[in-house]
């Protein structure tokens, strides 16, 4: 295997591993316990996937890998290396844009609830559901209900 081929493989793997370290969880899943409490605050927050709602995640990584592989099929010598790197960058960009479109970046409501047992629970929902600070609520299976 030539040193240029090794360099290309190393470059593609480096990009893949660097991008795979990005947070792809989007919004945190609620692991709220069931119980009763009072809404302490409701905040309007930015919702979306990846790094601060930017959409960096699996689409970016997959796009970079596919773009790098396709770019590697073009040209020869130094031109092939440039095509591989350019393909990886272009693929990552396209994957990023596609992921941003599907992650539903927008606003959400973050509810902080003071529970009767003295703990706090935080739930994030896409709508406010006409809840207001001071409402007595029940959390059941991650859902919020008025009492």
pLDDT in the model for residue 42: 93
1: tokens are 């295997």
**Does residue 145 carry a pLDDT above 50?**
yes
Exposure on the CB side of residue 67, measured as CA atoms within 13 A: 23
Run of H or E residues at 137:
strand 136-140
Per residue in 75-107, pLDDT (tens digit) is 677 777 777 777 777 777 777 777 665 555 578
Q: Phi/psi of residue 120, each to 5°?
A: -115, 140
pLDDT in the model for residue 16: 59
pLDDT in the model for residue 24: 41
pLDDT in the model for residue 33: 77
Closest CA to 110 of 120, 96, 122: 122
Q: Do residues 88 and 71 lie in contact, with contact meaning Cβ atoms separated by under 8 Å?
A: yes
The mean predicted confidence, pLDDT, of the chain is: 74
Q: What stretches of the chain show up as alpha helix (H) in DSSP? A: 3-20, 58-72, 78-102
Using the 8-state DSSP alphabet, how is residue 57 labeled?
S
Per residue in 113-139, pLDDT (tens digit) is 999 999 999 988 888 889 999 999 999
Q: Which one has a higher pLDDT value, 40 or 51?
A: 40
Closest CA to 33 of 103, 115, 98: 115
Judged by DSSP in three states, 46 sits in strand
Look up tokens 């960058």; give the residue. 89
Rounded to two decimals, what is the model's pTM?
Answer: 0.44
Percentage of the chain surpassing pLDDT 90?
A: 22
Residue 56 pLDDT grade (very low, low, confident, very high; cuts 50, 70, 90): low
pLDDT in the model for residue 94: 75
130: tokens are 């006409």
Question: Cα Rg for the chain, rounded, in angstroms?
Answer: 22
What is d(CA 93, CA 74) in angstroms, rounded to the nearest whole number? 19
């Amino acid at each position: 295997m030539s040193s240029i081929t090794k360099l290309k493989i190393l470059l593609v793997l480096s990009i893949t591993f660097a991008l795979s370290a990005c947070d792809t969880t989007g919004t945190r899943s609620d692991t709220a316990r069931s119980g009763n409490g009072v809404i302490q605050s409701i905040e309007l927050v930015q919702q979306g996937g990846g790094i601060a709602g930017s959409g960096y995640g699996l689409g970016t990584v997959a796009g970079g890998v596919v773009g790098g592989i396709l770019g590697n099929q073009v040209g020869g010598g130094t031109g092939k290396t440039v095509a591989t790197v350019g393909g990886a960058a272009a693929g990552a960009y396209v994957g990023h844009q596609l992921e941003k479109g599907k992650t539903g970046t927008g606003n959400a409501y973050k509810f902080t609830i003071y529970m009767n047992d003295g703990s706090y629970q935080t739930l994030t929902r896409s709508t406010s559901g006409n809840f207001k600070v001071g409402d007595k609520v029940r959390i059941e299976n991650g859902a919020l209900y008025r009492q």
